[in-house]
Structure 1
Amino acid sequence: MGILKRGTTWWIDITAPGGQRVRQSAETTDRKAAKELHDRLKHDLWRQAKLGDKPRYTWEDAALRWLNEQGHKASIRDDAKKIEFLTPFFKRLPLTELTWDRMQAVVEGQKGDKAPATRNRYYQLLRSILRRAMREWNWIDSVPTIRLHREPEGRVRYLTPTEIDTFLRNLPEHLGSLTRFTIATGLRRANVLGLKWSQIDMQRQVMTVAASDIKSRKTLGIPLNATAMEILRAQIGKHDEYVFVYKGKRLNATVNTAWRNALKKSGIENFRFHDTRHTWASLLIQNGVPKGMIKEMGGWKSDSMVERYAHLAPEHLARHAAVIDELLRKDVEPTPLQSVKPVKRT
C-alpha cells in the first residue's frame, strides 16, 4: 500500500519479503519526507531478509528496553528523566548513527553550563545503553568511545559537634528534630521524610528501611541510639502514620527559608541537607568506628563510598609510619674508607 494519509499525518504500510506487515506513523505532514522514510524502511527490510543485515534499531527502541529491564534500579527515575531529555535530539535515530560527535553536541550544547559530574552522568547512561545493545541484545556491532570529563574528588562537608549544637538551636522545632535524628542515624533525606511508625520497633530499638527505598536494594536494619529514641518518643502522638510532621501533615521539604536562616545565624556556609549524612559518617570514622561497620550501617553497596571519609581518620596509619621513625633513631656508625696502598711496579 505504501503511504497513506490519516488526518494531517502520513502513515507507512509495508509488507516485508517474509510476509511480515509493518505499519507505523511517519510522524510528518510532509508527503515527500514520508515517502523517503517508507523507501528507507523497505530497503532495510529487504536487506535483513535477503542479506542477513541486522534490523536498524533506533534510540527509542533501546531507551524503552533499557527502562523495562532496569526497572529494579534505585536510580531508574533519574535514568528516565535523562532519557526524556535526550529523546527529542535522537528521535528515530538508528543506534548505528549515534556517534560520539552527536552525543557530545547534545550534552555539551545543552548542559555545557553544568558541572562535569552532571554531564558525565548523561555520557555514562548513553554508554551503558549502547553497551547493553551490543553485548546482550546483539543490536549493534560496536560502541563509540565516550570520553568523560575529569571530576574533582567527592565533596565531603560535615559539621563539628559544636557547629551541630549551634545549628540545631537555630532551627525551628520540627526541622531541628528531623535534622538531629538524621545526624544520629545517617538516614538519607527521602528515608527520613517518609519515615513511618510501622518501620520502628520501639521495644527492640531498631528501625527498618525496605530494599525498595535503599540504593543498594537491600533491606536495611538500623539500630536506634539513645538520641534517636529520645527524638522518637517526643514525636509520638503527632501523626498516626508518619514520624516527622508539621502542623499535622507529613514533612516534604527540608531546605527552606528556615533552614537557610538557621545556617546564616550559625555562621555556617555551604551546607546541604545531604551533608547531615556526611556529618554522621565523618564523626563516626573520626571516633574509631571501622569503615566496614559504617558501610553496613549506612547501607552503602561499595567500599568506595566509605573510602571518601578515610582521610579524616589517618590514625590507623600511625603504626606503619613509625617504621621509618625507628630506622632514623638508630645510631649507625659510618663505614670508614679503606686506604689504598699503591701497587709496586715490577
Structure 2
Amino acid sequence: MSLYQRKNSPYIWCKFTVKGKLVQQSTGAVTRKEAKEFEAKLRVELLNKAEQVVKPVRTWNDAVEKFYAEKLIVVAPEPDRSILKWLHPHLSGVDIATMNREYLSKVGDKKLAEGVKPSTVNRLMKLVRAVLHQAVVWEWLDKSPKVRMFPTSEVNLRFITRDEADKLVAALPDHLAILAEFSFQTGLRRSNATHLKWSQLNLERKQAWVNASDAKMRRPIPVPLSDVAIRLIESQKGNHDVYVFAHNGKPIVSTARPDWYAALKATGIKSFRWHDIRKTWASWHVQNGTTLLELKELGGWTDYRSVLVYAHLGSQHLAKCVNLPVGLATLKATQAVQEMALAA
C-alpha cells in the first residue's frame, strides 16, 4: 500500500518510488480521498522533474577511453586498435545515447561492403557491444542497444601437421623461424609471444607466464615450457635487454611480413595465418591425449566453449567405452551371419 497511517501523526502518509528514488512523506490530508489526490499530484510533479534532468552527452570516444582505462591499459590490444581505427570516422563524436540497432547495423553493412567475411564484421560488432554494455554499468546509458550479428557459415578448423610445420619453419628466416617454432611449442597468441620479456621467465622451473594486463581475457596465464622451447629462448640471450625475441636489436612487432607469405608459397601451405599456429598447437595436444579441460588451462581460455571446437580431434578417452554396451550383441550377430553363410 502506498498510503498508510503513521503513529503519532494525524495525517496519512504516502510511500512510492520515482525513477528508482524512494519518496516517503506526509500528504497533509486526514481522509484517504484527499491523500490519494495529493499522492497523484506529487507523483506527476516528481516524474516531470526527473525527466527534465538533462544527462551529459557521452560520446563514443569518451566510452572507449573509459573502457580501456578500466582494463588498466593505456593502448588497446593490437586487434582492437585495428577495429577502433576503422570505427573512428563512423562513430567518433557520436552520442552513445543515439546509437540503436538500426544505426549500428548500417555501420556493420559498411564494413561488410568492403568485401570482408561476416566473422570479421562480427568481431567489430562485439567490441562495440562490449563498450556499450559497460556504458550501462557506468550509468551512462539506461539500456544497451541490441547489436546485430551477421550470419556466418561453419568453417573447418585450420591446422597443419608436424611435418608441414617443420617445412614452414625451415623456409622462414632465422628470427621468424625461432619465433614460429616457439609458438608451435607453447601455443601463445602472437602478441604474447612477440612481447614476451625476460622478466616473464623462470627457466629453472621451465615456466613462463603472461601477465593479466597482457592477456586477452585479463587474467594471468601460466606457460609451461618444453625442452625445445627452453633451447629456443636460450638462443636469444644477448639479442635484447628486455624482450626475448628481437631482430637487429629491435623487438619483433609484426609477423605479417613478406617473408612469412614467401615461406607459405614455397611450402605449398595455403590459407594459413600466424594465429593458426595456436590452433595447430591446440589440435596437436588434443590428438595426443590432452583433455579439453587441460587444454583450456594451457591456452588461457576462460570459456569451455572455446576448446570444444577441438573435441572431435581427440576420441582416445572413448575407446574404452565403445564395446561396453554393444560388444556381446555384435558377437552374436556375427555368429548368426556366419551360420547363415554356412547353411547356404
Q: TM-score, normalised by structure 2?
A: 0.70
Q: Is the 8 A contact 2:97 2:141 kept in 1?
A: no
Corresponding residue SS for 1:151: coil
Greater shift, 189-198 or 118-127, is seen at: 118-127
Question: Can you list the C-alpha shifts for 1:67-118, whole angstroms capped at 9, x where unaligned?
Answer: 4155344895566765665565567766564332222223213543332123
Indicate how the Cα distance of structure 1 residues 90 and 175 shifts in structure 2: closer, same or farther if over 3 A, else same: closer
Query: Is the contact made by 1:207 and 1:223 (CA closer than 8 Å) also made in structure 2?
Result: yes
Write the distance in 1 (CA, Å) between the matches of 2:329 and 2:105.
55
CA contact under 8 A between 1:59 and 1:92: conserved in structure 2? no
**Residues 153-175 of structure 1: per-residue CA shift (max 9 Å, x gap):** 46632120111111111112111
Supply the distance in 2 between the matched residues of 1:62 and 1:185 (Cα, whole angstroms). 37
Per-residue deviation, 1:217: 1.7
Q: What is the distance in 2 between the residues matched to 1:170 and 1:83? A: 34
* Contact 1:284/1:294 (8 A) holds in 2: yes
Measure the CA separation in 2 of the matches of 1:90 and 1:238.
42
Verify the 8 A CA contact 1:206 1:221 in the aligned structure 2. Answer: yes
**1:68 pairs with one of 49, 58, 66:** 66
Quick check: 195-204 or 323-332, which moved more?
323-332
The residue aligned with 2:29 is: none
- For the residue of structure 2 that corresponds to 1:308, the secondary structure is helix
Q: Name 1:294's counterpart in structure 2.
A: 295
1:137 aligned partner: 139
Residue 181 of structure 1: aligned partner: 182
Superposition RMSD on alpha carbons, in Å? 3.4
What secondary structure is seen at the aligned counterpart in 2 of 1:71?
A: helix
Q: Which moved more, 1:314-323 or 1:104-113?
A: 314-323
SS at match of 1:192: helix
In the alignment, the residues of structure 1 paired with residue 140 and residue 261 of structure 2 have an alpha-carbon distance, to the nearest angstrom, of: 51
Q: Percent identity?
A: 31
Q: Distance in 1 between matches of 2:131 and 2:249?
A: 44
Residues 63 and 129, structure 1, Cα contact 8 Å, conserved in 2: no
Corresponding position of 2:215: 214
Give the structure 2 partner of residue 20 of structure 1.
Answer: none
Question: Are 2:117 and 1:119 aligned?
Answer: no
Aligned to 1:36: none
Q: Deviations over 1:273-299 (max 9, x none)?
A: 111111111101100011111111111
User: Which residues of 2 match residues 5-20 of structure 1 at below 5 A?
Assistant: none
Q: Structure 1 97/292 Cα, relative in aligned 2: closer, same or farther at 3 Å?
A: same
Query: In structure 2, do the counterparts of structure 1 residues 241 and 263 end up closer, same or farther at CA, with 3 Å as the change threshold?
Result: same
User: TM-score by structure 1 length?
Assistant: 0.70
Gaps of 5+ in 2: 1-44, 334-344
Is residue 207–residue 224 contact of structure 2 (8 Å, CA) maintained in 1? yes
Give the Cα–Cα distance (whole angstroms) in 2 for the partners of residues 249 and 94 of structure 1: 41
CA distance in 2 between counterparts of 1:114 and 1:56 reads 40
What residue identity is the alignment partner of 2:239? K
Residue of structure 2 in register with 1:283 after alignment: 284
Partner Cα separation in structure 1 for residue 195 and residue 97 of structure 2: 44
Give the Å deviation of 1:268: 0.8
Residues 194 and 252 in structure 2, CA contact (< 8 A), matched pair in contact too: yes
Of 111-120 and 82-91, the range deviating more from structure 2 = 82-91
1:55 CA drift (Å) = 4.7
Q: Verify the 8 A CA contact 1:56 1:95 in the aligned structure 2.
A: no
* One-letter amino acid matched to 1:156: L
Compute the displacement of 1:240 (Å): 2.6
Paired residues for 1:1-346 under 5 Å: 50-53=48-51, 55=53, 57=55, 60-61=58-59, 64-65=62-63, 67-73=65-71, 76-77=76-77, 82=83, 86=87, 89=90, 97-112=98-113, 113-133=115-135, 137=139, 139-140=141-142, 144-153=145-154, 156-322=157-323, 325-326=326-327, 328-329=329-330, 331=332
Separation in 1, partners of 2:272, 2:140 = 46
- Taking the aligned partners of 1:48 and 1:62, their CA distance within structure 2 comes to 31
Q: State the alpha-carbon separation in 2 of the partners of residues 70 and 203 from structure 1.
A: 35
- In 1, the alpha carbon distance for the partners of 2:247 and 2:116 equals 34
Decide whether aligned partners of structure 1 residues 137 and 292 sit closer, same or farther in structure 2, where only a CA change above 3 A counts: same
Q: Which amino acid aligns with 1:114?
A: V
Mean Cα displacement is larger for which, 272-281 or 100-109? 100-109
Distance 1:238 1:133 in 2: 44
Matches of 1:299 and 1:192 in 2, distance apart?
14
Moved >6 Å (runs of 4+):
none
Q: Could you list the runs of 5+ residues in structure 1 that have no partner in the other structure?
A: 1-46, 333-346
Mapped to 1, the partners of 2:136 and 2:233 lie a distance apart of 51
